[in-house]
Structure 1
């Protein structure tokens, strides 16, 4: 009898090992497929961005024909994106990260056959239209759905849902920003209440994120996404300035989250056709772009210009206000797109604005205001998403400023702790509750 029990235990251990090794292999496949899809996504967006520059608006006062084409380009992108989402896959609206968190809890379905094509195509149109949205939301949802697809195709048990979907989400974020460590940390930190943590599920995250990033670097390019100066930080007497910046960003995080939800409620109450929404948003984006291209779009070129151009503090303030409002409206319109990149752009602008003021009053403590621009990226992410480690990892990986980890820690921790004490909930938790409440009301 004892020998039989030992034999059975050994068989169970062998089966468990085989299952775990199979999970790691599937995580590799998920990462590779997500990397391929994300690479195609980024390359198409780059081509469309180049096409949009051919419709580049000139100066105010030009003939209406000179800016009619950009408005039509923007209108069609927004209209077609909303059309696809509303008709075929409503869960693809917005970033989709809240949908993934709900799926990991078994509260939301993962309809990958619908989501994968609709999220990919609709996001291409929405992001190329000039709206202030990022590519990371779509790639995270696409990656997570690839994880669910792997589970269905290879007929795995429902227990494999969680690690494969999580590995796909990590792969999606890693491939959006060339930031594999941030992708891993994001799932562990932001999805900690949804992610089933064990050694093999963590290994699956690492394999998925690493393989996806490898594919993107081979097909799209390697190196940090944002080309900035590599800074050093040696003046410890100025560390309190980063704490102060964190306090400012904690308030900004509360404002952003409340206004984002308010924008979603506003567009829901309007009850107008998506043609009207697309037309209004196209007019706003075109009119603002006529004044300054830095005020529209995801923000990559804006960040570069903020770091490398000598913008006045007055213009930085105007840039921050306009992009803040347009980021909220862009997400509220219901098109697919992430909020990471618009948030990071706002953090850079506010950080540069803060650094410029600080340099005026404390020139000995602030050798370059751009240091606060990098810190602003981590701080605003921590105050809105309530994920300080992810914000820290993203800021460092996207700019290669590894020597700024200490001041970034002070900024991110201060922003996340203070915004929590002020009652600000993580934005994706709020968005998930909205989705679940909508499901209940429709029953």
Structure 2
């Protein structure tokens, strides 16, 4: 009788869980619709703003110059006022989304949605070298947070809705639904469950469909890409490897200068409103004399694809675009580095291709070839998300014949970034934004470490006894041997966002390490476990057989 009651209770819980999953998927569908509308409208208005900017920066007369400067300063002051009210709208917004997922911040979704939308239009509309893609991720995430608040869903489901919003933002702005899904999983979560995958697919696909109704269905880059022919294989391999080295080094330079200019701008001893006013005057001058480097740079890439430009001119445009992007992002205005980063990669590819064509008689097709590879490789070098980079370029161009070359170039670049120990730029920006909280957490961890006298003994014991599960150790008493269980932690599972001491494990199970990105850290009572981690648990063979399945289910199953 007791067994029947227990079985019935399990069926009820299973039904409730499935019903919640269906509701969650429907809410992700709504997030996709609203994200598509908002991001599509955002993109459309930004295109119109370029016409507004050109009116005040071309066919100049004194009155137009005076009015233009005044308007630019007013736009800058408005941006700074919004930043004061809602600090989290600054920059691209991707570090803020990561901060929400790791419980560093809470969104004030409605106010931040409005100010991020308007602030981004003012900043990018004024010609700042910033992209709409990062803000689109943030806008989609704010929509997800808003849906959670309005429907009064749990905090567990908020993570799903916010992640789906981020995916929808990328999908809408680039017309790249698969890249939106992969970016959310690779960059934001770094781990996924089947439910999270289907939720992001639903939101990304829906958002893409809605935005196409607003912006049209064409790919981001309208150009007939052709693989270069007639180059010996070994020559092609050599110039490709050299190109990857150049991209990796310049990617490291990009990250260095981005953080450096941000730091120096923050340390300027001037009133924030005065600083932004001075910068907006500079932005007006740049819009008048260097129009090519303003905005995200989408038109610049398309122009470079099909236009013959002197090598010296390309180098000058590359340097100006590079440093103007640094200065614009340092102001903290709502705008991202996503597209400017791709533009810089494409320009480096253009320079490299022109040198090969002009001085080594390599066919002309090599120029566009390296521009295309440069975008994906530069994204890989700076963001350290190769799968997103590959998928994004494939969907933006609509040319899947480049898949093999993109895989090769991004893989080589990723290996080089590993050798140079480069950190993803969004993780660096995330640390800079929340460094005080992170440092406080580190201090607390160090304090507890001093009291844990048995850690060294435990670590040595684990190393000596480690035997991967599934491989029976030699010897007759196999059930008495020590084995290791690797338990993955899924988003919003029973183990997610809990400390080791809070987990209720059966007897004879000991967590010795928490594995993150392939690196182990010794598990302490206050060690925080997050989605994407793996718990390294040691136990005897008999206990492992009994509880391995249960632990994996607890590590992956979503809880309310």
TM-score category (smaller protein): over 0.9
Aligned to 2:195: 200
- The verdict on how the C-alpha distance between 1:70 and 1:376 changes in structure 2, with shifts beyond 3 A counting, is farther
Aligned to 1:11: 12
Structure that is richer in strand per residue? 2
- The verdict on how the C-alpha distance between 1:71 and 1:245 changes in structure 2, with shifts beyond 3 A counting, is farther
Aligned to 2:166: 169
Aligned to 2:223: 228
| Residue 320 (str. 1) matches residue 321 (str. 2) | no
**TM-superposed deviation, 1:274:** 2.9
Select the structure of larger CA radius of gyration. Answer: 2
Post-superposition Cα deviations, 1:175-215, rounded to whole Å, max 9, x if no partner, equal: 1111111111101111234x6x2111110000000000100
Distance, in Å, in 2 between the alignment partners of 1:381 and 1:114 is 31
Contact in 1 for aligned 2:226/2:365 (Cα 8 Å): no
Post-superposition Cα deviations, 1:357-407, rounded to whole Å, max 9, x if no partner, equal: 122344356634111111111011111111111111111211222211222
- Residues 3-402 of structure 1 correspond to what in structure 2 (within 5 A)? 3-58=4-59, 64-86=62-84, 88-193=85-190, 197-232=192-227, 237=233, 238-364=236-362, 367-402=365-400
Contact in 1 for aligned 2:227/2:365 (Cα 8 Å): no
Distance, in Å, in 1 between the alignment partners of 2:390 and 2:168 is 18
SS in 1 for 2:138: helix
**TM-superposed deviation, 1:233:** 5.3
Distance, in Å, in 2 between the alignment partners of 1:107 and 1:279 is 31
Post-superposition Cα deviations, 1:333-359, rounded to whole Å, max 9, x if no partner, equal: 110101111111111111111111122
Which segment drifts farther, 309-318 or 148-157? 148-157
Distance, in Å, in 2 between the alignment partners of 1:365 and 1:413 is 25
Distance, in Å, in 2 between the alignment partners of 1:162 and 1:236 is 50
Post-superposition Cα deviations, 1:51-71, rounded to whole Å, max 9, x if no partner, equal: 22222335xxx6544533443
What is the TM-score normalised by the length of structure 2? 0.75
What is the TM-score normalised by the length of structure 1? 0.94
**TM-superposed deviation, 1:148:** 1.4
Distance, in Å, in 2 between the alignment partners of 1:140 and 1:333 is 20
Unaligned stretches of 5+ residues in structure 2: 442-560
Distance, in Å, in 2 between the alignment partners of 1:275 and 1:2 is 70
Structure that is richer in helix per residue? 1
- The verdict on how the C-alpha distance between 1:310 and 1:75 changes in structure 2, with shifts beyond 3 A counting, is farther
Q: Larger relative contact order (C-alpha < 8 A, sep ≥ 6)?
A: 1
Q: When the two structures are aligned, how many residues end up with a matched partner?
A: 437
SS in 1 for 2:57: coil
Aligned to 2:415: 417
**TM-superposed deviation, 1:3:** 1.3
- The verdict on how the C-alpha distance between 1:177 and 1:65 changes in structure 2, with shifts beyond 3 A counting, is same
**TM-superposed deviation, 1:292:** 2.9
Which segment drifts farther, 71-80 or 95-104? 71-80
- The verdict on how the C-alpha distance between 1:219 and 1:7 changes in structure 2, with shifts beyond 3 A counting, is same
- The verdict on how the C-alpha distance between 1:200 and 1:236 changes in structure 2, with shifts beyond 3 A counting, is farther
